[in-house]
Amino acid sequence: MDTPKIRDGLSYDDVLIQPQRSSVTSRSEVDLSVELAPDLELSLPITGAAMDTVTETDLAIALAEEGGLGVVHRFLPPAEQADMVGRVSDKGLQAAGSVGIADGFHARAQALTDADAAAIVADVAHGHMDRCLDVVSDLAGSFDRPLVAGNVATGQGAVDLARAGADCVKVGVGPGSHCTTRRVAGAGVPQLTAVLDAVEALADDDADASVIADGGIQSSGGIAKALVAGADAVMLGGLLSGTAEAPGVVVDRDEGKYKISRGMASQEANEERTDRDLEIGASEGVAGLTPYRGELSDVVGELAAGVRSGFSYCGGRTISEARDGAVFVKVSPGAKEREGAHGGVLVRGNWLSVVQSAWLDPSWFASHSIVLFQETFCVPWRLCCEPSDSVSVSVGKFLFQFGP
């Protein structure tokens, strides 16, 4: 019996973009516009995830006003979904709608087309299934709308979707903040490697399809890395779920306001689905709380500014220029410790990555008194006390205590 091949895989946090000689003197010089498909142009390469606690009418409108594209989720009756998309279209703005691969996908796609959706998004957890390829081929031949399809995590998966008729391929299996596929199913590809593989394979196949990097983005730096790696846009879920326009319920707690958010493969989401009944043997998502972030325009504006700053280090005034001659540097564990504020200073930043480091190597905290607080976290991650010199964090059934 042949043994499985083993290859290396990289996530966004495993690399940095190597600075280049640059003539860009201001972030305002950087143009982030992109064409995802004929008749589908964005001035901001950010799309909103098709999750019921992320993208419905209000967020789709707010994101479109910033130049991005919201994808209204499919976990509700087709008429209700089409109405949400139509309310965005009636304002002269762009919104897309997602469809699955179960019976009824064609009628849902027709309703979205009638509502003037900017794109149809064939959206399933594993887009490299024969059934998904058949659905993509059907949609491509039936509707005169840009077609986005996914998700895949390999170059061949991207090529097969493009050959089936997808104008844009969505890449990402398991990297999302609310997704547990990699832990539950043991399947996936680290996201940076998945994007690089997809982009390279599509180019080698002369496929005229763009790429959306879906999942794994925790900051503007991650967006910059995804775009430099060849993605034409990113899809955000967790980073948008705490905004005022997201449909999640606001929860008041002693430490502040939060919004309820959840992955669409979670048991909680399945229990409230109205599009169809589905028995889940093992859920591949979680529900949790995301700190309230305020208006989407502020959140997205800050992300865009960070991406423009990253491109200025590459010497690029456009996405394509930023990629030209770009080099990624693989960072060591020691180098990772020195990313962001460090040296014993209490800051607000990305505490989730620190806790994940603890999951892999609890001894990390032996020499660190830094406490970094993430803007987004989800169950089973929970902050157990107020910021102080000594902090306890529970991770599932484990409790980490660290400090001086």
Give me the phi and psi of 136, to 5 degrees please.
-60, -45
Distance (Å, rounded) from C-alpha 120 to C-alpha 145?
A: 7
**Token digits of residue 173:** 């299996």
Distance (Å, rounded) from C-alpha 9 to C-alpha 5?
A: 13
DSSP state at residue 5: P
Distance (Å, rounded) from C-alpha 186 to C-alpha 318?
A: 37
Is 181 part of the annotated catalytic residue set? yes
Q: What is the largest CA-CA distance in the chain?
A: 63
**Token digits of residue 205:** 């196949």
Q: Which amino acid is at 113?
A: T
Which is it for the CA torsion 273, 214, 306, 370, positive or negative? positive
Q: Which amino acid is at 37?
A: A
Distance (Å, rounded) from C-alpha 119 to C-alpha 98?
A: 9
- Out of 179, 243, 314, 376, the active site residue is 179
DSSP state at residue 2: P
- Out of 55, 57, 181, 243, the active site residue is 181
C-alpha angle 187-191-195 in degrees, rounded to nearest 5: 115
Burial class of 330 by CB neighbour count within 10 A (0 to 12, 13 to 18, 19+)? exposed
Measured CA distances, 75 to 13, 98, 152 (Å): 32, 9, 21
Helix (H, G, I), strand (E, B) or coil at 38: coil
Distance (Å, rounded) from C-alpha 198 to C-alpha 177?
A: 21
Characterize the bridge pairing of strands 168-171 and 210-214. parallel
Is 168 part of the annotated catalytic residue set? no
**Active site amino acids:** 179, 181
